[in-house]
């Protein structure tokens, strides 16, 4: 089917323009927050909360209205979409669409944006307007990444979300912020260049084969590529997304960026930006290059297993609380990489659940680490002993999210890791047996976090304040979500099922992806 044929038959849902609205609300909200900074540090926070609350309510409404789609047969998974002419001469359009996967990732983005603003409530008092401008523009770029179906537009949003993150680290970070920001910029921009080269190569190959110049996702999925060519083009996409994931050995930017970023920046970085790499693997790498992805799967799964074990071991070795949480992210996102390239329904559902659960649990741990640093002026766990009796609410919440992070049954992380391991065993038992050591190692670093931070001999002169009502309520919402994901994950599987089923469109994947678990 040609590009024009597809778009001639496309319908736009009654709320198709809502996808543009979701992004515009954050862009405009960011500008208003910046302007509001002239009236003090409080006004920008409330502007950011208002913009994010509007988007959250809008996304919940889209979820409620999503069943049934647009009635377009196999493509009905795209229940909201809009396409506007942009640069017709180059085959570029402003094409946004949302399916269940995009909806879940967008909900996670906006929710964690609210959590990031809450975590910055008392921490950010200097240039508050510009801070919240950057936060909202990062999130607007991320929503664009999760909805763009024109690859040129996707790349534009990919760049939009990165530059404000550099500002967050460089301007509001801690002692080594300049070095961390430069390192983050070099890794992300270098990988972005590879992504751009991969996109242009795919577009040119499609043009050579069909005579049509287009950046449209659906048209490019039909591009016939020689096996060796497909592998090299796919590697451009894969490396770009693996850097953002991050997968070993593309991870060195992560610990420094997390450690030096302000608390809100760490929440967005861990909970949202890392997910764009995983989303890229699911949305672009596997569907655009099915044969090449299948041949590359053993290598990708090896990197996933290495990330699981390497991240867990390095996390256990840390004395800095934020670096421990950062390396645990490398381990957890290794499960996502493993699940994507196991290429079966259970593993992929587990990868998506892990993306959501990791965003909530690790975001909460970074918020807790930021609260302790704000109170104690240190991130060294060796200087935090004996806090359990002094800050019981912080201690109880820290314990809960530590055990959620290690994958205890009853929490969303367990569901994600269990399904990934189950699907990996179906694809390759050896990888599953090695990867299962990851949750075992997670017990060690999670218990070390709790022991070193909250127990042991109390330090003289350390009398921090416990969580107040606002902070307790925010953490209570995150606890409710991570428990609900663990006890009743079916709504997540239901909403994402049509999107996963669409991946059966390639011969390589026939019979490998199911709409839902039996």
Dist. CA 327–CA 446, nearest whole Å: 12
Residue 90 forms beta bridges with which residues? none
Tens of pLDDT, residue by residue over 75-103, are 457 778 888 889 888 989 999 998 889 99
Query: How far is CA 99 from its chain centroid?
Result: 16
Look at residue 159 and give its three-state secondary structure: helix
The residue to which tokens 């918020």 are assigned: 367
Domain boundaries, the chain: 299-518
- Helix ranges (H only) for 245-344 are 253-260, 263-268, 274-280, 286-288, 290-316, 321-342
Contact 156, 142 (CB under 8 A): no
Q: What is the pLDDT of residue 6?
A: 37
Q: Provide CB contacts within 8 A for 468, sequence distance 6+.
A: none
Look at residue 409 and give its three-state secondary structure: coil
- Is pLDDT of 73 > 50? no
Q: What is the pLDDT of residue 12?
A: 46
- Is pLDDT of 292 > 70? yes
Tens of pLDDT, residue by residue over 5-49, are 333 334 444 456 788 999 999 999 999 999 998 888 889 999 999
Tens of pLDDT, residue by residue over 260-286, are 899 999 999 999 999 999 999 999 999
How sure is the predictor about 215, in pLDDT bands with cuts at 50, 70 and 90?
Answer: very high
Tens of pLDDT, residue by residue over 189-210, are 888 999 999 999 999 999 998 8
Tens of pLDDT, residue by residue over 320-349, are 899 999 999 999 999 999 999 998 888 999
Region of 246 please: left (phi>0), alpha (psi -120 to 50) or beta: beta
Nearest CA-CA partner of 122 in 407, 370, 335: 370
- Is pLDDT of 66 > 90? no
Global pTM reads: 0.90
Q: Provide CB contacts within 8 A for 211, sequence distance 6+.
A: none
Dist. CA 302–CA 315, nearest whole Å: 20
What the block records as the tokens of 371 is 């609260």
Rg, the chain, Cα only: 22
Dist. CA 265–CA 267, nearest whole Å: 5
Burial class (CB in 10 A: 0-12, 13-18, 19+), 427: buried
Write out 164-232 in H/E/C secondary structure: HHHHHHHHHCCCCHHHHHHHHHHHHHHHHHHHHHHHHHHHHHHHHHHCCCCCEHHHHHCCCCCHHHHHH
Q: What is the pLDDT of residue 69?
A: 39
- Is pLDDT of 504 > 80? no
Tens of pLDDT, residue by residue over 125-176, are 889 899 999 999 999 999 999 999 999 999 999 998 999 999 999 999 888 8
Give the mean model confidence (pLDDT) for residues 239-259.
90
Q: What is the pLDDT of residue 380?
A: 86
Q: What is the pLDDT of residue 279?
A: 94
Q: 60-69, 303-312, 509-518: which has the highest mean pLDDT?
A: 303-312
Q: What is the pLDDT of residue 390?
A: 85
């Amino acid at each position: 089917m040609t590009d024009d044929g597809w778009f001639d038959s496309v319908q736009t849902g009654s709320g198709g323009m809502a996808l543009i609205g979701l992004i515009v609300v954050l862009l405009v909200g960011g500008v208003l927050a910046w302007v509001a900074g002239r009236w003090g540090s409080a006004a920008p926070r409330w502007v950011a909360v208002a913009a994010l609350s509007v988007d959250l309510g809008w996304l919940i409404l889209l979820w409620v209205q999503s069943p049934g789609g647009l009635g377009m047969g196999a493509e009905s998974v795209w229940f909201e979409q809009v396409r506007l002419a942009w640069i017709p001469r180059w085959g570029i359009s402003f094409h946004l669409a949302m399916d269940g996967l995009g909806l879940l990732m967008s909900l996670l983005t906006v929710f964690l944006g609210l959590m990031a603003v809450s975590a910055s409530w008392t921490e950010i008092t200097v240039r508050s307007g510009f801070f919240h401008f950057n936060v909202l523009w990062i999130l607007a770029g991320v929503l664009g990444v999760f909805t763009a179906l024109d690859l040129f537009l996707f790349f534009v949003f990919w760049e939009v979300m990165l530059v404000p993150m550099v500002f967050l680290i460089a301007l509001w970070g801690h002692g080594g912020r300049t070095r961390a920001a430069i390192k983050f910029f070099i890794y992300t921009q270098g990988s972005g260049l590879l992504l751009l080269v991969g996109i242009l190569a795919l577009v040119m190959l499609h043009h050579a084969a069909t005579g049509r110049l287009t950046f449209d996702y659906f048209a490019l999925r039909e591009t016939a590529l020689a096996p060796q060519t497909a592998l090299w083009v796919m590697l451009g996409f894969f490396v770009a997304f693996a850097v953002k994931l991050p997968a070993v050995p593309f991870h060195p930017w992560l610990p420094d960026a997390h450690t030096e970023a302000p608390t809100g920046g760490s929440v967005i970085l861990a909970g949202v930006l890392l997910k764009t790499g995983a989303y890229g693997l699911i949305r672009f790498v596997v569907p655009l290059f099915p044969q090449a992805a299948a041949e590359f799967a053993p290598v990708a799964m090896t990197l996933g297993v290495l990330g699981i074990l390497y991240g867990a071991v390095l996390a256990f070795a840390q004395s800095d609380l934020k670096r421990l949480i950062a390396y645990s992210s490398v381990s957890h996102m290794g499960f996502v990489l493993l699940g994507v390239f196991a290429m079966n329904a259970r593993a992929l559902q587990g990868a998506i659940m892990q993306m959501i659960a990791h965003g909530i649990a690790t975001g909460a741990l970074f918020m807790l680490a930021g609260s302790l640093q704000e109170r104690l002026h240190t991130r060294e766990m060796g200087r935090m002993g004996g806090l359990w009796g002094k800050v019981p609410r912080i201690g109880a919440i820290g314990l809960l999210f530590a055990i959620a992070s290690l994958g205890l049954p009853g929490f969303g992380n367990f569901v994600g890791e269990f399904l990934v391991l189950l699907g990996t065993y179906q694809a390759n038992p050896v990888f599953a047996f090695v990867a299962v050591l990851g949750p075992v190692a997670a017990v060690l670093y999670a218990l070390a976090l709790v022991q070193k931070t909250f127990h042991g001999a109390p330090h003289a002169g350390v009398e921090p304040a416990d969580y107040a009502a606002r902070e307790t309520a925010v953490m209570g919402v995150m606890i409710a979500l991570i428990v609900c994901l663990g006890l009743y994950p079916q709504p997540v599987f239901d909403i994402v099922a049509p999107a996963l089923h669409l991946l059966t469109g390639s011969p390589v994947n026939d019979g490998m992806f199911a709409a839902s678990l039996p």
